[in-house]
Amino acid sequence: MNNLIKLENICYSVDGSSDSGSNGSRKIILKDISLELRRGKILGIAGESGSGKTSLAKIIAGINKSYEGNITFNFSEEWKRIRTNPVQILFQNNGEILNPLRKVDSIIEETLIVRHHSKNVEQEKHRIFESLNISEMIMKKKGYELSGGEQQRAALARILAASPELLVLDEPFSAQDPESQLNLLNFFKKVNIEYNITIICIAHNLSILNKLCDEMMILYKGTVVESSSAEELFSNPKHPYTKFLLKAGNYELNYNELSNSNWETEKHS
């Protein structure tokens, strides 16, 4: 078994709506999510807003611990001695993880020292900056001086400096122009192969996931309606909701299809 991560029946709910009189009812965000992901693979998770995809990302990344069910990681031994987290997450508004008043250079250096106990810091730093196309000039800038695209690359550099085994990406492509999206896509593929990092990518754009992922999972209202290899899912989608999403991405829906969208949550796979 070469699973890096295994989720068993993850459930997550929050206090019911803030309306008075809702008497402590629980709102279900995620219901019975199970998945296994092998080391070195890229998994795509797609769904619309409210499907629970960001909640799932936070649970996998260890930020949210108030879930039910089991998560098993199978990290290598060395993590017992290391103070950085083997799971790193890149958020949608990634600029916020950078200290606006520190230079990119020193942010990355610090992470490298914590992670690698000051071995080969200079060399590692240059390797990371090179693979991300971060110039000398950007390295010397402070967090607040960076443009949106530069912020994202700097945030990624910080993540690479932590050399995680699992990288969770939450909507990394949104609000980027096509050229930047393509660069990012190629970069994630490179990280996956060269740095041997397993990736879970959450996005609503199916066609980009198609280009990136080995495995796919479709979330609808907190449940998995379809999961299979990316090849299978895109060439032969089974659940009507998956077909609906694919059609929506191509802007081919008519109004009737749009307004009658209440899907069964029974899983097809």
Partner 1 sequence: MLDVKIKNIYLKGRGTLLSETNFSLEPGKIFTILGSNGTGKSTLIKSLTGLLDKKFYSVEGTVIFGKEDIFSLEYPSLLDIRRNKIKYVFQDSINSFDHLKKYAYYFQRIAKDISESDSLLEYFLLPNSKTLFNLYPYEVSGGMAQRISFVLALLSHPQIIILDEPTSGIDSAIANLFLIKLKEFVNNSEQLNSGLKHSALLVTHDIVFAQKISDKIAFISNGMLSPFVDSQIFFEKSNVESWNTYLTAGKALWG
What does the binding site for partner 1 look like in residue numbers (CB under 8 A)? 48-49, 147-149, 174-182, 185, 204-208, 211, 244-245, 248-255, 258-259, 261
Distance of CA 199 to the CA centre of its chain: 7
Q: Nearest approach, Cβ of 3 to partner 1 (angstroms)? A: 30
Q: Nearest approach, Cβ of 23 to partner 1 (angstroms)? A: 21
CA distances to 53, 60, 124, 179, 184 from 78, rounded to whole Å, are 30, 20, 18, 37, 29
Q: What single-letter DSSP state applies at residue 268?
A: B
How big is the chain, counted in residues?
269
Q: Residue 206 or residue 233: which is nearer to partner 1 going by CB? A: 206
Q: Residue 3 or residue 183: which is nearer to partner 1 going by CB? A: 183
Q: Nearest approach, Cβ of 119 to partner 1 (angstroms)? A: 37
Interior angle at CA 178, CA 172 and CA 179, nearest 5:
100
Q: Residue 65 or residue 251: which is nearer to partner 1 going by CB? A: 251
Instruction: Please report, to the nearest 10 degrees, the dihedral formed by the alpha carbons of residues 162, 163, 167, 172 taken in order.
Output: 70
Q: Residue 22 or residue 34: which is nearer to partner 1 going by CB? A: 22
Q: Which residue, 205, 200, 240, 236, is CA-closest to 220?
A: 240
Q: Nearest approach, Cβ of 47 to partner 1 (angstroms)? A: 9
- For the record, the structure tokens of 141 come out as 């800038």
Residue with tokens 């996931």: 209
Q: Nearest approach, Cβ of 100 to partner 1 (angstroms)? A: 19
Q: Residue 66 or residue 262: which is nearer to partner 1 going by CB? A: 262
Residue with tokens 């089991």: 70
Q: Nearest approach, Cβ of 39 to partner 1 (angstroms)? A: 27
Q: Residue 236 or residue 259: which is nearer to partner 1 going by CB? A: 259
Q: What is the DSSP string of 124-175?
A: HHHHHHHHTT--HHHHTSBGGG--HHHHHHHHHHHHHHT--SEEEEESTTTT
Q: Nearest approach, Cβ of 42 to partner 1 (angstroms)? A: 16
Residue with tokens 């990290």: 75
Residue with tokens 């998560």: 71
Residue 228 neighbours by CB distance under 10 Å: 18
Q: Residue 163 or residue 223: which is nearer to partner 1 going by CB? A: 223
